[in-house]
């Protein structure tokens, strides 16, 4: 394979892999894979094939002759590692991880439900009292007019 063509394929496939990884931040990594599989799969295959060719060519001719393709694949591998580390829970604080547990959400939801029931009961009770007081005032006013 021509060296320039190999460089172009490796650059295009690396940019495509990085772009596809960035789409995960917008909720589209798997969705785009399902929708555009006919584009993504060939790019992944090209990336893997050019990666294998890069390893072979670097072992045969050295790093000096394969700088572009080698650095392109190193950039691709590093970006995949960095994106996966960013998405993992390794660098998140303990407070954030503790606050997002399902149990905490259930406790919060239970507190909200109790507050809502208490609040609706009190509003209902206040409305009932206001209606009764209003009716008593009307009754008193009616009795005093007689």
More confident residue, 58 or 142: 58
Q: How far is CA 31 from the centre of its chain?
A: 13
Please state the rounded mean pLDDT for residues 97-103.
57
Taking the domains of the chain in order of start, what are their residue ranges? 3-91, 93-146
- Does the pLDDT at position 60 exceed 70? yes
pLDDT computed for residue 83 by the predictor: 86
Q: Do the beta carbons of residue 73 and residue 51 sit within 8 Å?
A: yes
Counting every residue written for the chain, the total comes to: 146
Question: Could you report the per-residue pLDDT of 63-80, keeping only the tens digit for each?
Answer: 888 889 999 999 999 998
Using alpha carbons, list the distances in angstroms from residue 60 to 71, 73, 106, 133, 146. Answer: 17, 17, 60, 97, 115
Q: What is the pLDDT of residue 129?
A: 55
């Amino acid at each position: 394979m021509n060296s320039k063509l190999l460089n172009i394929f490796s650059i295009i496939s690396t940019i495509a892999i990085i772009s596809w990884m960035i789409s995960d931040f917008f909720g589209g990594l798997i969705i785009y894979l399902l929708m555009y599989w006919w584009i993504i799969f060939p790019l992944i295959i090209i990336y893997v094939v050019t990666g294998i060719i890069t390893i072979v060519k670097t072992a045969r001719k050295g790093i000096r002759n394969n700088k572009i393709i080698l650095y392109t694949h190193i950039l691709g591998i590093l970006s995949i590692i960095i994106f996966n580390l960013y998405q993992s829970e390794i660098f998140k604080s303990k407070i954030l991880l503790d606050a997002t547990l399902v149990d905490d959400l259930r406790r919060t939801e239970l507190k909200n439900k109790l507050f809502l029931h208490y609040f609706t009961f009190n509003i209902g009770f206040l409305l009932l009292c206001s209606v009764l007081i209003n009716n008593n005032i009307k009754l008193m006013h009616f009795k005093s007019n007689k």
